[in-house]
Amino acid sequence: MAEEIDITLYSTDASFSWNGYSYQGKVALFMALNKIEELNDANEDLNEYFLELEWFEDFSIKKNSKYITIHQVKTYNTSALSSYKEAIWTLLLKILEFTTLEKAYLHTTNGLNIPEDFLEKQGIKEPSNPVKKPRIKSPYESYKAVVESGQYDSLAEKLELYNYGDQDNEMRFCSFDDIETKIKEKILGFTGDNASAERIDRAYLRLLGLVDSNIKERHKDIQEGIEKEKVTIKFVDIKKIVEQNHDLPSREYTIYYMKNEFQRMATQYINEVLENEYNMNYVTKYNYDLFKMTIDEIFALDDNEFYEFCLKISPDNEVTDEDVNNAMKFLTSCLPKQGLENCFFEIIKQIQKKVESKKWVFHKRMSDYKNVVYLPSTILDDNSPIRNNLLIKRIHNNDNPDLLREVEKIITKNITINSIDENRIYRNIPEPDNSNSTRQSEQYHDRITIMKKIGLIKLDEAKEEFE
């Protein structure tokens, strides 16, 4: 029986290589929405259903603790059946061993056909150097077990190439571009035809955020040595997101949108700039590795950490938590595209020193043994007296001064200013006068310095100080 089998013998945890925006994650969301639709029509309890990512299979749908359907997702740029046969034999073995399975699906980005003579023509040869006592059954062992069972025909009835079309127009594959469209169509089906495009887009990104958060929880499990119990996504949580009115952007949406944008811009920079500069010997291996390490650490931040990261590297932001337009100001004030590409990324690439994780600053020990803290920023402004004054004003009005508590120099692209002003203090404490009580006098003397005297330094000069 399924419950008697050690699931780890059939499972590979691939969450370390998982990208929350990947094709597999989108297919999983599409299938979950599809299943929720079916369950609603049948008046079944959604609380019993869960989506499991990258464990027993690329993804699985479970009813309580039992696997109902399992799904492998392949994005090969070929329709040659030989490229998929190992995946097919592995799925057939799981159907054989796990009797609660209703279906096993193979999802592809290219058209494919599993012919009737698959058993005869797509066998797997025994490897010449098999792994001794492998933890996970190999494709050959899967093939051998299925053939020896004599149940190939009945097992194959439960295996399907998933049909993204309908009964009249079969489509046994789905492209990278089409899967996003299909998810949004499903969301529209839940919200009604009058839902705005913005609401659909925001629900879509929130769903991707749900997947991303699940994988981060999985990383935590791996680090803590938890192998058998995997964090799943509740169907009720998926439904809650698609039915929520997202016409006004929520804090969760804006953060996930920004994470999505940051990952897109960082990946583009790595592929189009960093890789080419490294290949042309403009960037050292040391700086190349440091850059990618830093970007990976940013990718791994949770929502609150990423929110603070954005606020910190854009210290001239105008985001105010009490403002009803907080979400929109966060979108417009933080992570400016040009500021990221031409300033922050350049700083991270050119300064030959590791950025401190979670604090996003460089430390420099001076000749007098004083430690100076540098903050890489997105400040791209040209050096101009008028613009400099506006920039200084925005930094002083920063609503999150605690993030700049230890910072002494903000690295910019083009501006150097020794000190932007006197120490910033809380301004809502009244000046003392002779008529006030002793308590008010104590309050006055309890003013707390939030920012040190901060200076701005342009990248070229910062590089010299670190060399």
Share above pLDDT 70 across residues of the chain, in percent, rounded to a whole number: 82
**Residue given tokens 């599409």 in the structure block:** 30
Final residue in a domain of this structure, among 243, 262, 291: 243
Asked if residue 429 and residue 290 are part of one domain, the reply reads yes
Final residue in a domain of this structure, among 226, 243, 260: 243
**What is the domain count for the chain?**
2
**Average pLDDT, whole number, for the chain?**
83
Could you tell me the pTM of the whole model?
A: 0.61
Asked if residue 67 and residue 169 are part of one domain, the reply reads yes
Query: Residue 46 has which token pair?
Result: 């959604």
Query: Residue 200 has which token pair?
Result: 């659909």
pLDDT at residue 198 in the model: 84
**Residue given tokens 């990976």 in the structure block:** 296
Q: How far apart are CA 208 and CA 23, in angstroms?
A: 11
pLDDT level of residue 430 (50, 70, 90 thresholds): very low
> Which residues have C-beta within 8 Å of that of residue 221, sequence separation ≥ 6?
227, 229, 230, 231
Final residue in a domain of this structure, among 215, 243, 271: 243
In this predicted structure, the answer to whether residue 11 has a pLDDT above a threshold of 60 is no
Q: How far apart are CA 341 and CA 144, in angstroms?
A: 53
pLDDT of 385-408, one tens digit each?
A: 888 988 998 898 888 888 998 899
CB distance 174 to 48 below 8 Å: no
What is the residue range of 267's domain? 251-466
pLDDT of 282-340, one tens digit each?
A: 999 999 999 999 999 998 888 889 999 999 999 998 887 665 556 667 777 788 889 99
**Span 50-60, mean pLDDT?**
90
Asked if residue 327 and residue 217 are part of one domain, the reply reads no
CB distance 348 to 291 below 8 Å: yes
